[in-house]
């Protein structure tokens, strides 16, 4: 062994530095902290991609079934997607304010069942498509980092403008009648998610729900709007965020 020692010592100079921890037991589990200065910066920017499912809170007129031929009204949720830009202001290490202007493409269906004069039934499906320009303002409370991982909750509200609103459509033809909704909406939002600090950016996964506050229904006297008393929006959003 004493003869081999002078031969082994020069080989130590040839071993890469990052390989040494693998040869020593006590520091084998040490992980590299990615983006160590991320929380020290005041502002962060990024973008998001999201999958949404939109639906309605719907309230019927109590007298609808007694004065009209309508038998039932169902609301069906449909998938959509969001694209947005993220602006984040760090108030503290754990608290930030986020402004996220976005485009949200949403699709819902109202299904009506009417009774004809001969006693048979007829079903109409009225799609309600919206392209919202949204302006969410949210508070984000995040846990301390655990290596390159953190959890958080968000809460706040948003204002929205429906760029595809059909509130001015002429509903003269019964078969082509659309259910008209107000162009402007605002909602409360709450959710939570996970942050993953990667070598070059922070990746987030977030699940959030939005509850519309105002009644959006425009009652223009058609047999599709008269049975309804109010319509409010409801959305569930699965979001993927990328921040630098």
95-123 mean pLDDT: 93
Return mean pLDDT, the chain.
86
Residues 6 or more apart whose CB falls under 8 angstroms from that of 179 comprise: 110, 126, 128, 217, 224, 225, 228, 231
User: How far, in Å, are 81, 92, 205 from residue 202 at the CA level?
Assistant: 21, 17, 10
Residue 8, H or E segment: helix 5-8
Query: Residues 53-78: what's their mean pLDDT?
Result: 86
Has residue 28 got a pLDDT over 60? Answer: no
pLDDT at 23: 39
Weakest mean pLDDT among 36-50, 64-78, 147-161: 64-78
- Determine the pLDDT at residue 240: 98
DSSP designation for 143: P
Predicted local distance difference test score (pLDDT) of residue 168: 62
Per-residue pLDDT at 223: 86
Query: In terms of DSSP bridges, do strands 184-197 and 149-162 run parallel, antiparallel, or are they unpaired?
Result: antiparallel
Strand stretches in 144-198, DSSP E: 149-162, 184-197
What pLDDT score does 178 carry? 85
Please, how many CA atoms are within 13 Å of residue 194, restricted to the half-sphere of its CB? 6
Hey, how many other C-beta atoms are within 10 angstroms of the C-beta on 40? 8
pLDDT at 17: 42
**Helix (H) or strand (E) segment spanning residue 132:** strand 121-142
Condensed to tens digits (0 to 9), the pLDDT of residues 147-192 reads 999 999 999 999 999 998 876 666 555 566 888 999 999 999 999 9
Higher per-residue confidence, 212 vs 8: 212
SS (H, E, C) 70-116: EEEEEEEEEEEEEEEEEEEEECCCCEEEEECCEEEEEEEEEEEEEEC
Tokens representing 138 are 């949210």
pLDDT of residue 53: 97
Q: Is it the case that residue 5 has pLDDT exceeding 60?
A: no
Q: In which band, very low, low, confident or very high, does the pLDDT at 30 lie, cut at 50, 70 and 90?
A: low
List of domains in the chain: 5-243 (2.40.160.20)
User: What is the model's pTM?
Assistant: 0.82
- Taking the C-alpha atoms of residue 87 and residue 100, their distance in angstroms, rounded to an integer, is 6
Q: What percent of the chain has pLDDT over 90?
A: 66
What pLDDT shows up at residue 55? 94
Token pair 């047999």: residue: 223
């Amino acid at each position: 062994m004493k003869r081999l020692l002078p031969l082994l010592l020069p080989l130590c100079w040839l071993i890469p530095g990052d390989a040494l921890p693998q040869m020593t037991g006590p520091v084998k589990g040490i992980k590299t902290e990615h983006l160590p200065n991320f929380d020290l910066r005041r502002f962060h920017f990024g973008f998001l991609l999201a999958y949404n499912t939109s639906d309605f809170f719907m309230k019927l007129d109590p007298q609808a079934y007694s004065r009209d031929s309508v038998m039932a009204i169902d609301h069906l949720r449909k998938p959509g997607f969001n694209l947005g830009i993220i602006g984040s202001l760090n108030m503290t290490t754990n608290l930030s304010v986020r402004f996220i202007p976005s485009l949200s493409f949403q699709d819902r269906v109202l299904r009506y069942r009417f009774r004809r004069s001969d006693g048979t039934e007829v079903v109409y499906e009225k799609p309600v498509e919206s392209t919202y320009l949204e302006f969410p303002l949210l508070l984000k409370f995040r846990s301390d980092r655990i290596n390159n991982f953190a959890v958080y909750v968000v809460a706040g509200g948003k204002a929205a403008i429906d760029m595809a609103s059909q509130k001015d459509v002429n509903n003269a033809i019964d078969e082509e009648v659309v259910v008209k909704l107000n162009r402007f909406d605002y909602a409360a939002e709450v959710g939570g998610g996970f942050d993953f600090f990667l070598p070059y950016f922070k990746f987030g996964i977030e699940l959030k729900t939005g509850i519309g506050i105002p009644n959006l229904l425009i009652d223009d006297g058609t047999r599709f709007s008269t049975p309804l008393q109010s319509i409010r929006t409801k959305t569930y959003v699965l979001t993927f965020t990328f921040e630098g």
